[in-house]
Amino acid sequence: MGARAKTARARSRQGEADAPEGLCGPVPEASGPLGSRPGTRFVVHRHAASHLHWDLRLEMEGVARSWAVPKEPSGERGVRRLAIMQPDHAVEYMEFEGIIPEGEYGAGKVEIWDKGRYALEDRGKGKLLVSFEGRRLRGRYLLLNTAGKQWLFFKTGE
């Protein structure tokens, strides 16, 4: 390989490394043991992309597990929301607010709609029972995997 090609490849790799955190950033290495201790962080981003949606992110195993929720999450018991699993994000992204520029994936305004702590109360195959202590999300919610990347997200029980 010629020196010029090598340089171009190195530049392109560097470009990737420098790319701003988008919706599909590199999946970070998971760290720490499986499972979440109580008091782990969550955030919900309100993301005014081409289609307005809410991004639920749970800090888990060293990454931000993420779901895109096309309708505003409900505080009413049993009001189900579709939640589509997204690639893991870096936990640093949980603090992000700002504008993703035109031409980039997910272009539009990102605001923190809610944030706080959660406890993972139960975890089964395709099921997470989560207790939120946020400003908007409070109490127990279920995340149920229905098919592929599709989950249901709703408030449950007491």
Task: For the CB of residue 67, give the shortest distance to Mn ion in the complex, in Å.
Answer: 10
Give the shortest CB-54-to-Mn ion separation in angstroms.
8
Residue holding tokens 């309708």? Answer: 71
- Shortest distance (Å) from residue 86 CB to Mn ion: 7
Nearer to Mn ion, 110 or 140 (CB): 110
Burial of 101 (0-12, 13-18, 19+ CB in 10 A): exposed
Tell me how far CA of residue 25 lies from CA of 5, 19, 51, in angstroms. 25, 9, 20
Smaller CB separation from Mn ion, 87 or 139: 87
**Which residue intervals of the chain are DSSP H helices?**
3-18
Question: What is the number of the residue whose Cβ is closest to Mn ion?
Answer: 47
**Least Cβ distance, residue 36 to Mn ion (angstroms):** 22
47 vs 140, beta carbon nearer Mn ion? 47
Chain positions contacting Mn ion, by CB under 5 A: 47, 55
Strands (E), 23-90: 40-48, 52-60, 63-69, 81-89
CB 27 within 8 A of CB 45: no
Cβ atoms 53, 112 nearer than 8 A: no
34's tokens: 């499986």
**Is the Cβ of residue 9 or residue 149 nearer to Mn ion in the bound state?**
149
Name the minimum Å distance from CB 45 to Mn ion: 6
Query: Which of 28, 139 has the CB closer to Mn ion?
Result: 28
